[in-house]
Amino acid sequence: MIIVLKPKISKKAETEVIQEIRRLGYRPHIMRGVARTVIGAIGDELTHTSLETLANTFPKSVESVLPIQKKYKLVSREAHPANSTVKVGKHVVIGGNKFHVMAGPCSVEGEKQLLTTAVAVAKAGATMLRGGAFKPRTSPYEFQGLGEKGLKLLAKARKETGLPVITELLSENHADLVAEYADILQIGARNAQNFQLLIAAAKTGKPVLLKRGLSMRIQEWLLAGEYVLANENPNLLFCERGIRTFETYTRNTLDLSTIPIIKQEAHSPIVIDPSQGAGRADLVMSMCKGAVAMGCDALLIEVHPNPAEAWSDGAQQLSLNHFATLMQELKPFIAAAGRE
Amino acid sequence: MIIVLKPKISKKAETEVIQEIRRLGYRPHIMRGVARTVIGAIGDELTHTSLETLANTFPKSVESVLPIQKKYKLVSREAHPANSTVKVGKHVVIGGNKFHVMAGPCSVEGEKQLLTTAVAVAKAGATMLRGGAFKPRTSPYEFQGLGEKGLKLLAKARKETGLPVITELLSENHADLVAEYADILQIGARNAQNFQLLIAAAKTGKPVLLKRGLSMRIQEWLLAGEYVLANENPNLLFCERGIRTFETYTRNTLDLSTIPIIKQEAHSPIVIDPSQGAGRADLVMSMCKGAVAMGCDALLIEVHPNPAEAWSDGAQQLSLNHFATLMQELKPFIAAAGRE
Amino acid sequence: MIIVLKPKISKKAETEVIQEIRRLGYRPHIMRGVARTVIGAIGDELTHTSLETLANTFPKSVESVLPIQKKYKLVSREAHPANSTVKVGKHVVIGGNKFHVMAGPCSVEGEKQLLTTAVAVAKAGATMLRGGAFKPRTSPYEFQGLGEKGLKLLAKARKETGLPVITELLSENHADLVAEYADILQIGARNAQNFQLLIAAAKTGKPVLLKRGLSMRIQEWLLAGEYVLANENPNLLFCERGIRTFETYTRNTLDLSTIPIIKQEAHSPIVIDPSQGAGRADLVMSMCKGAVAMGCDALLIEVHPNPAEAWSDGAQQLSLNHFATLMQELKPFIAAAGRE
Amino acid sequence: MIIVLKPKISKKAETEVIQEIRRLGYRPHIMRGVARTVIGAIGDELTHTSLETLANTFPKSVESVLPIQKKYKLVSREAHPANSTVKVGKHVVIGGNKFHVMAGPCSVEGEKQLLTTAVAVAKAGATMLRGGAFKPRTSPYEFQGLGEKGLKLLAKARKETGLPVITELLSENHADLVAEYADILQIGARNAQNFQLLIAAAKTGKPVLLKRGLSMRIQEWLLAGEYVLANENPNLLFCERGIRTFETYTRNTLDLSTIPIIKQEAHSPIVIDPSQGAGRADLVMSMCKGAVAMGCDALLIEVHPNPAEAWSDGAQQLSLNHFATLMQELKPFIAAAGRE
């Protein structure tokens, strides 16, 4: 930690700060600069008491306290310099040279809706099936998902198409149930710092796709991922789905800069969800092209046989035709990005 | 719902939109304006399929869809014009004429720390004790709370001081346990849209204090409160604790405008947490004065016998002396606000 | 305009609102819905008094007022369905099939620095030269640009390389001076709603590149562009350079969704500035690829012969080698996007 | 500056960084910590080349660069420990014990409108008159103000009521004209980083009220204020008017924490504008109470004889009666804050 002292404080005030740093187990190292004196406190920030309280303890002497160490370890490139890959089901490997597309309806609504979609997206080239069985809804009066019945339909669609299945986990109490049916457990944006849920998901051993929270800084997202790795589950996928900003034209602002940043800071694959990111079907095509070009490992796209009748988020789901066209148009960009 | 059509679309395109509105169960009502044609779709938005998909279904004909109805019912002043009050323990009533202060440490760290604080804040005029037994931490390597041992210490402090106790509920699985010890269950900002947790908290029957999420719009906060009321628990308290903005001087931006807004839209009491709101002890005094003047019903303040040694959030906790001074300085503002 | 009335108001209160709508020159059209009564006010919102005050005038009767018309006209696709192109200098046309790259130093620092850069970027394939002669700086103690001397150096570099020149206009008083030397006038993010400056820039007749303000909604950006077109200058370019969000890893959050959105709403070309957008040279490559794939018309990139010695924004400028590599790597994406 | 090195870099890489620090004129001071090596670069950050480029120059060796010094000097409490007061006209002193209220219409619309308002607000207790003669409008089709005619009406109203006058300066070219009529020059939020305008305003010698920009960090606001003081005008007032956030219920989010923060960091008075801050007349009363309690020096409030007919921002202007009631209700809070 770096402790910046206020200018012109007395020798006595300075000594008090230094003694406190020592008392908390750090070794102080003093640098006298032109405008400020700065103290480096040598010691492991992950195992010692934080010094961030010093500005509160000595409000007249301490101007600011700057942490130096990164708080995440296991997700960091420092811990694991090579890219990690995540194996899903028997044949899918995310994070390698092959590019993946996970597609399907926002909510599982019934057998016909799901199977029609699954067959169509498989035909168009999708390599995984998405679909919500438990749905987090802003209002208690909105459709909350089919629950276990939805999970069973997903398993049936997997059997028919061979596509592994990703679905959202909403409750600690459902972790075992969802893990029984799903190939990837999705943690939604609103639960991205529901640490109990992250731990429960990690403990199932299944791959965990962690969406970025609506106002989560990248460091916080990495730390949430750390909860998965620290609970002995190495199968972590980060998924950017748009952050909340002042803009109202789109539902969220898709932050595609997360692709190079996550690649730089962490070793886990990065997935982009342009459907949530825009909240509008008409922007999905362009965003997919950008995400592919910037090097993401997979896309997560909402597709519905009849978006106008969708029980949730109809405004952002692609029709089956629209999805097939998208898959065609992505091809040259996947090739330009050096992926299959 | 109001459907705004694009200018200069054909009669045929218009008819298709109107037929779709009818098919989804609404009665269309057409208004031809100077620059646009607008269709009012008459029907209950809470029970019908949403029309928000129309812009996706007819991208060339429909410019935008504007919802008219508010999505929340039970929390609304329309449903309950008078102020609600929430009874806590045997003697405390929040939302009435008496102003309340909930004070105590961020985390329960041990018997001596908690009892010292409890006795001191009671003496200074606090009417409730706060303290975290289960702590949500951004990093898995930070102190996660004493758990049930912390709850027992809170119960002991209540017995010694007579102060009812508020503590955070983190996991659905702990709902009964925490409700056994606490007088108010707190739902933290990171769990404000963890709907499963809200339902579990509501079902205990204990009062629920719902913090605003870091990037929650007021309408979403009201809807999260609706989850509590809709699960037959009328004892809801809203708590503003700062939102996330671009500013970096403070940890969060405390949005005091929530006081008049919640009073206008809803009937439940509103509590302000200036400790989380600022993340800095030196701003708490001023924020408390503003909150009292603007008409909040209670304050939630972090107090620690030795902030420099706090196991969590030391930078924002007040010392016992600082808290006693605060309580003195608040008196004229409480009187000016017409509260006791 | 759509006026939403509060539920259960009296007939008399309703009549008062309707009379006021009539008095302000609109024709009221009443729709009685299930939960609310809604009044459509027929009349041109661009020429009539706004009705947005109704909620202030009748706080007990009017719940909300929703505008229907878009406020911009000339920048809109409705006014001009085809893409506009902007001719720059004698040979450059932006917005057509050919993709353009504007490159050069953040600030013009001297003849050698500028000419070295200009020759190198031209060789690497850039088609325009950028460079700041007047610099807006957050602090009055930072380098403010070489002024007219910088403009002369830009003109010299243009003569030597044939590259047209883009530079920032900071002051109404410099409009004629800057227009004398520059081929495009750039309006920076901090001046994006400095309407006097926009008017002065428009009146020079030179093409105007309008950066998006740090917290400008897309509708506001379009309206700022409207100031240029309404002052009889059709040569407008929009330039996204990142918005301000809560994220601190990058200096700004580059909002690439502006590419499909501007293409949809407006007819002017869209340029992306990844240097400002990221504030970090190491992210520029990836962002350029994404921008190209998503369909932008040109890139604006900061390049410096020795970023470590740059007098401004050194952290985000590419070296000459880094730029040459970038131009090579962009080629397959430009081809995939169907551009030259 | 503090330079944080990446872990496990070679001795050679470290030496290169150290040499570069020396070459740029700083004295390096090395601290070897547990997880990182940190270099303190001793030298004045205000006069030396910034080291922020080091992370760009040595991307494999340098993790981050942390500035230590504050960039503002003259606005700082360090430079001027006591509160500054600003004299306005002959009798008004802002920043002293007396509390001030500046009230008047958003726009000057005509003689009757202005004089009616001026007389009424003076009678209710306002001590200054506000009114816009030059108006910055998001759309070029909205009313842009009466210009010089508006300034003359403000002078007339001052003569009749004795109230000094505050009005907005929009253009460098109007600085002398506006200064001839006004007692305070207001710089609006959209021009808060229009540094040319700040310099022009400062040079008139008249007091300058600097509104906070929509997405301006407090440090940037202080630096914009530095432009005024550095141009030898000590008569600076900061004015908070709400920042842009994700919330849509209010037009802006009024950040009242700026009151204690500006008091702590700077010596100039702080004014609160709740009318712009909320964008809704119904929230102004509560916000004024909070602002007074938190210690602001003055309020800036929009008042109109007939808000429904206002030519701009009618939704946020108070009626004359509403303003008179406000002034009555504020009295106990002004007293509680120890002001007259």
Instruction: Note the pLDDT tens digit of each residue in A66-76.
Output: 887 788 889 99
Helical packing angle, C218-230 and C258-265, nearest 10°: 50
Axis crossing angle, helix D284-293 with helix B258-265, rounded to the nearest 10 = 150
Is it the case that residue C32 has pLDDT exceeding 70?
yes
pLDDT of residue B63: 86
Question: Which of A275-289, B17-31, B107-121, C130-144 is most confident?
Answer: B107-121
In Å, how far is C180's CA from the nearest CA of chain A? 37
CA distance A74 to chain D (A): 15
- Please, which chains are in contact with D (at least 3 CB pairs closer than 8 A)? A, B, C
Say if residue C254's pLDDT is above 80.
yes
* pLDDT tens digits for range C101-121: 999 999 999 999 999 999 999
Tell me if D69 and A45 make a contact (CB, 8 A cut-off): no
Q: Which of A20-29, A150-159, C46-55, C245-254 has the lowest mean pLDDT?
A: C46-55
Q: Which residues of A311-338 are buried (b: 16+ CB within 10 A; e: fewer)?
A: bbbbbbbbbbebbbebbeebebbbebbe
Indicate the pLDDT class of residue D277, thresholds 50, 70 and 90.
Answer: confident
Cβ separation D42–A31 shorter than 8 A: yes
Residue B117 has what pLDDT? 97
E strands in C10-119: 27-32, 37-42, 62-66, 86-88, 92-94, 100-104
What are B216-220's contacts with CB under 8 Å, separation 24+? B216/B192, B216/B243, B217/D246, B217/D247, B217/D248, B217/D249, B218/B258, B218/B261, B218/B262, B218/B265, B218/D247, B218/D249, B219/B70, B219/B71, B219/B72, B219/D249, B220/A138, B220/B193
Nearest to C314 among D53, D226, D314 (CB): D53
Tokens representing D117?
């308002």
The per-residue pLDDT for A47 is 66
| D156 neighbors D115 (Cβ within 8 angstroms) | yes
Compute the average pLDDT of residues A232-251: 96
Are the beta carbons of B286 and D257 separated by less than 8 Å? yes
Structure tokens at C335: 């081809």
What are the chain D neighbours of B333 within 8 Å (beta carbons)?
Answer: 293, 333, 336
DSSP B277-309: HHS-GGGHHHHHHHHHHTT-SEEEEEB-S-GGG
Chain C: which residues have CB within 8 Å of chain A?
215, 217-219, 243, 245-250, 253-257, 259-261, 264, 277-278, 282-283, 285-287, 289-295, 332-333, 335-337
C91, C243 Cβ separation under 8 angstroms: no
Cα A303 from Cα A277, distance rounded (Å): 14
What is the structure's pLDDT at B174? 95
Of D165 and B140, the structure prediction assigns the larger pLDDT to D165
Q: Do B283 and D219 touch (CB under 8 A)?
A: no
High-pLDDT (> 70) share of chain D, %: 99
Average pLDDT over residues A9-24: 89
Residue keyed to tokens 């965003």: A287
Structure tokens at D273: 């504008």
Locate C325 and state its tokens. Answer: 């590599």
Q: What is the pLDDT of residues D249-272, one digit of tens each?
A: 999 999 999 999 999 999 999 999
Buried b (16+ CB within 10 A) or exposed e, B85-98: bbebbeebebbbee
Q: What string of DSSP letters covers C290-329?
A: HHHHTT-SEEEEEB-S-GGG-SS-GGGPBPHHHHHHHHHH
Question: In this predicted structure, what is the pLDDT of residue D309?
Answer: 80
- pLDDT tens for chain B, 340 residues long, are 888 888 888 999 899 889 888 888 888 888 887 778 888 888 877 666 678 778 888 888 888 888 877 888 899 988 899 999 999 999 999 999 999 999 999 999 999 999 999 999 999 999 999 999 998 888 888 888 999 999 999 999 999 999 999 999 999 999 999 999 999 999 999 999 999 999 999 999 999 999 999 999 999 999 999 999 999 999 999 999 999 999 999 999 999 999 999 999 999 999 999 999 888 889 999 999 999 999 999 999 999 998 877 887 778 899 999 999 999 999 999 999 999 8
Other C-beta atoms closer than 10 Å to the C-beta of D90 total 8
B-contacting chains (≥3 CB pairs under 8 Å): A, C, D
ipTM of the complex: 0.92
Distance from CA of C142 to the nearest CA of B (A): 22
Confidence of residue D50 (pLDDT cuts 50, 70, 90): confident
Rounded distance between C-alpha atoms, residue C52 and residue C41, angstroms: 12
Q: Number of C:D CB contacts under 8 A?
A: 137
Residues of A in contact with D71 (CB under 8 A): none
User: Closest Cα of chain D to A33: distance in Å?
Assistant: 5
Test C249 with A215 for CB contact under 8 angstroms: no
Query: CB under 8 Å to D6, separation ≥6 — which residues?
Result: D36, D60, D61, D62, D63
Q: Tell me the residue ranges of DSSP E strands in D203-246.
A: 208-211, 236-240
Predicted local confidence at residue A99, as pLDDT: 98
SS3 of chain D: helix, strand, coil, percent, to 5:
40, 20, 40
**Is the backbone of residue A293 left (phi > 0), alpha (psi -120 to 50) or beta?**
alpha
Residue A90 pLDDT greater than 70, yes or no = yes
**In this structure, what token pair is assigned to residue B74?**
């039970």
User: A159 Cβ partners below 8 Å, 6+ apart?
Assistant: none
Q: What residues of B are in contact with residue C66 (Cβ under 8 Å)?
A: 2, 66
* Range D158-178 average pLDDT: 97
Residue B97: its pLDDT value, please?
95
pLDDT of residue A63 exceeding 70, the answer is yes
**Residues of chain D with a CB closer than 8 angstroms to some CB in chain A:** 2, 4, 7-8, 29, 31-36, 38, 40, 42-46, 66, 68-69, 78, 215, 244-246, 248
Structure tokens given for A11: 């020798």
Backbone angles phi, psi at B266, to 5 degrees: -125, 175
Distance of alpha carbon B27 from alpha carbon B18, whole angstroms: 9
Mean pLDDT of chain D: 92
pLDDT beyond 80 at C35: no
Helices (H), B98-217: 111-124, 148-161, 175-181, 195-203
Chain C residues near residue D214 by CB distance under 8 angstroms: 213-215
Q: Quick check: C285 pLDDT over 70? A: yes
Provide the pLDDT for residue C320. Answer: 96
Q: Which of B56-70, C9-23, D103-117 has the highest mean pLDDT?
A: D103-117
Residue B1: predicted pLDDT: 80
Which residues of C have a CB under 8 Å from any CB of B? 2, 4, 7-8, 29, 31-36, 38, 40, 42-45, 66, 68-69, 78, 215, 244-246, 248
| Gap between the Cα atoms of C105 and C319, Å rounded | 10
Average pLDDT over residues C142-154: 92
Report d(CA D172, CA D187) in Å as an integer. 11
**Beta-carbon neighbour count of residue B234 at 10 Å?**
15
Confidence of residue A236 (pLDDT cuts 50, 70, 90): very high
- Contact: B217, D336; criterion CB under 8 Å: no
- pLDDT of res. C46: 67
Q: What one-character DSSP code corresponds to residue A84?
A: P
pLDDT in tens, A197-214: 999 999 999 999 999 999
Distance CA D81, CA B182 (A): 47
Structure tokens at A12: 């006595």
Place of tokens 């809709």: B230
What is the model's pLDDT at position A175?
96
Query: Which pLDDT value is given to residue C187?
Result: 98
Chain C residue with minimum CA distance to B27: C33
